[in-house]
């Protein structure tokens, strides 16, 4: 806890911030392994596609699952199983968070009740 009126150094503030985030500060000259860099690059591509979807088509506003309970007010784009993370609207559907969770955890490749899955 900081004392009132005592100025803390930038290094101390950064160490505290890292500790709160659960990350230890990286030593100077630290580099990720090739595998870690590849995974980070793949994750960045996925986030970039979702950003492209929201910029091009706007936020998801409804659930395309015909058997949805329509109780959620939060919607998101979901990648269809077996499709690639590329800038193609046909690879994604809009689902509420409940249906999104059910879809991503299911082992079913196609949902016949989701319009774009056919």
- pLDDT tens, position by position, 82-114: 888 788 899 899 999 988 888 888 766 555 555
Least Cα distance to 93 among 31, 26, 14, 68 occurs for 68
Residue 62 pLDDT: 92
Residue 2 pLDDT: 53
């890292």: which residue's tokens?
18
pTM (global) more than 0.75: no
Helix (H, G, I), strand (E, B), or coil: what is residue 79?
strand
Give me the residue spans of the domains in the chain. Answer: 58-118
For residue 113, the tally of other CB atoms under 10 A from its CB is 13
Confidence of residue 35 (pLDDT cuts 50, 70, 90): confident
Q: Please report, for residues 6, 45, 111, 114, the alpha-carbon distance to residue 89 in angstroms, rounded to integers and kept in the order given.
A: 54, 15, 17, 14
Residue 18 pLDDT: 76
């Amino acid at each position: 806890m900081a004392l009132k009126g005592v100025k803390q150094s930038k290094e101390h503030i950064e160490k505290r911030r890292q500790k709160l985030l659960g990350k230890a500060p990286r030593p100077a000259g630290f580099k990720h392994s090739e595998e870690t860099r590849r995974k980070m690059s793949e994750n960045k591509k996925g986030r970039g596609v979702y950003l492209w979807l929201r910029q091009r088509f706007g936020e998801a506003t409804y659930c395309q699952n015909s058997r949805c309970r329509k109780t959620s007010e939060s919607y998101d784009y979901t990648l269809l199983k077996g499709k690639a993370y590329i800038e193609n609207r046909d690879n994604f559907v809009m689902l509420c968070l409940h249906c999104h969770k059910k879809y991503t955890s299911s082992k079913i490749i196609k949902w016949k009740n989701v319009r774009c899955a056919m």
